[in-house]
């Protein structure tokens, strides 16, 4: 039996690779080598002239127009199963609000009859139902000033990064490289806190995404990552920290050279076919290496995950990228030439995949963990791009095509003494 003391001992002796702890910067430019993580290249960053552009109250920031949106009544008339997680949260808050003011009957999960409602409450209910989400938030803030029942309710519809703010800032940089794409860093008090990608160009990423939030992005159904960065920058500035924005412009020829110099390794992480372009995938591999090297994953930094999940898995477990497994590729090719069914190919891949990952008998693997994702990715030959929902959908689709669901894989692992928990 593994006791807490043994677990603590193992954690100390066999620590998981997290980063190379190169997290501080000085001067106006610096160069970082990636050979230590398996890439024969270096990335040069330069500091920009970062500054505030404008400051608005949260309500003023919300009232900056919104994308085409339907009224709240449409949300209430849509089956919950068809709603996105964000919209489901919005629906829950509206129901909570309507219950609070006495117009919703939770016993029947619907509005109380109009004839039973106070005329003023009926008027408020009908107005809210006819407004879009942003307009309803602004309306709730307005009536909250004169009716205590509504005071503060508007903030419940904001995401956690905006909910507690009084002001929202916009910011900009004055540079000649804004029309280029590449990588960037947010640096607080000389410490690197976030690594990001400007996949189109810096102007679009900074101004339209992080530096100038739109109202719809601030809601619980909005873009949380953009609000997180804006809020983090604002909080750091409010605390008196020095905030810097560093960039590393990269052209397509630059990325092609990196690929050519590291082709054997990058073939293991860049898909020939897929939704993402070669440029985007290349930037995501480099970004993931920098996230690891600069240790900017939460809680040390602001990055939520690795943009290339396979890169992140290999760096965390091995500390370096690995060349493509040519032996496994050749086995797969020969199996196809020999007419071996794909279902059988899955069975042939199990043992080599377990060996590659160092998974031995009497092991437990947590379902959905990084180790589980990497194992399933190897066996089903579905690359993991960091989006777990999309990954699971692809696995489900392929498993149906070849009649080999995850449950059958778990049975095969169980025979080998490996339990999925």
Whether 309 and 360 map to the same domain: the answer is: no
Same domain, 128 and 192: no
Residue 194's H or E segment, with its range, is strand 191-198
User: How high is the pLDDT of residue 288?
Assistant: 92
Give average pLDDT by consecutive 10-residue segment, the chain, 421 residues.
43 43 80 92 89 79 72 88 84 93 91 93 94 92 93 91 80 72 92 90 74 77 76 84 91 91 87 73 92 89 83 85 64 48 60 70 70 80 75 79 75 74 65
pLDDT of residue 397: 79
- Position 6 scores a pLDDT of 42
| Residue 8 domain-assigned (yes or no) | no
Residue 1: the pLDDT is 42
| CATH assignment of the domain containing 230 | 3.40.1440
Question: Residue 343: what are its φ and ψ, rounded to 5°?
Answer: -60, -40
pLDDT for 287 = 94
**Is residue 330 domain-shared with residue 314, that is, in the same domain?**
no
- What sign has the CA pseudo-torsion 132, 135, 139, 140? positive
What values do phi and psi take at 322, rounded to 5?
Answer: -125, 145
Same domain flag for 205 and 276: yes
173 shares its domain with 301: yes
Residue 112 to residue 106: CA distance in whole angstroms = 9
pTM > 0.75 = no
Verify that 336 and 357 share a domain, yes or no: yes
Domain hosting 69: range is 60-157
313 inside domain: yes
Residue 52 CA, distance from chain mean position: 26
Q: What is the pLDDT of residue 222?
A: 73
Residues 80/95, Cβ–Cβ less than 8 Å: no
> Are 219 and 348 within one domain?
no
Axis-axis angle for helices 406-415, 370-380 (nearest 10): 100
Same domain, 211 and 281: yes
Q: How many separate domains does the chain show?
A: 3
């Amino acid at each position: 039996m593994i006791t807490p003391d043994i677990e603590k001992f193992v954690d100390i002796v066999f620590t998981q690779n997290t980063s190379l702890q190169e997290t501080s910067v000085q001067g106006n430019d610096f160069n970082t080598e990636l050979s230590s993580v398996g890439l024969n290249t270096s990335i040069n960053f330069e500091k920009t002239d970062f500054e505030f552009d404008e400051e608005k109250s949260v309500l003023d920031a919300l009232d900056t127009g919104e994308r085409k949106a339907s009224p709240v009544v449409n949300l209430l008339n849509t089956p919950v199963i068809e709603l996105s997680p964000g919209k489901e949260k919005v629906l829950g808050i509206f129901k909570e609000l309507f219950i609070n003011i006495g117009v919703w009957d939770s016993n029947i999960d619907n509005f109380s009859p109009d004839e039973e409602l106070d005329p003023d409450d009926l008027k408020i209910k009908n107005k809210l139902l006819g407004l879009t989400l942003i307009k309803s938030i602004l309306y709730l803030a307005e009536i909250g000033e004169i009716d205590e029942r509504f005071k503060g309710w508007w903030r419940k519809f904001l995401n956690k990064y905006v909910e507690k703010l009084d002001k929202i800032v916009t910011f900009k940089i004055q540079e000649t490289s804004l029309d280029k794409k590449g990588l960037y860093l947010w640096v607080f008090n000389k410490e690197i806190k976030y690594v990001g990608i400007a996949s189109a160009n810096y102007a679009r990423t900074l101004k339209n995404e992080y530096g100038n939030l739109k109202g719809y992005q601030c809601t619980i159904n909005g873009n949380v990552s953009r609000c997180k960065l804006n809020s983090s920058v604002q909080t750091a500035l409010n605390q008196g920290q020095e905030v810097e924005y560093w960039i590393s412009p990269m052209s397509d020829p630059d990325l092609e050279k990196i690929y050519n110099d590291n082709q054997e390794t990058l073939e293991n992480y860049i898909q020939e076919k897929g939704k993402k372009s070669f440029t985007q995938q290349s930037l995501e591999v480099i970004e993931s290496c920098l996230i690891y090297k600069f240790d900017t994953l939460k809680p040390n930094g602001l990055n939520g995950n690795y943009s290339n999940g396979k890169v992140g898995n290999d760096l965390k477990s091995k500390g370096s990228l690995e060349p493509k497994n040519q032996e496994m590729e050749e086995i797969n090719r020969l199996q196809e030439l020999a007419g071996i069914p794909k279902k059988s190919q899955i069975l042939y891949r199990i043992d080599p995949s377990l060996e590659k990952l160092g998974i031995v008998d009497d092991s437990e693997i947590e379902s959905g963990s990084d180790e589980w994702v990497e194992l399933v990715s190897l066996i089903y030959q579905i690359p993991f791009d960091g989006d777990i929902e999309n990954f699971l959908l692809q696995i489900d689709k392929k498993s149906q095509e070849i009649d080999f669901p995850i449950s059958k894989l778990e049975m095969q692992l169980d025979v080998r003494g490996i339990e999925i928990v």
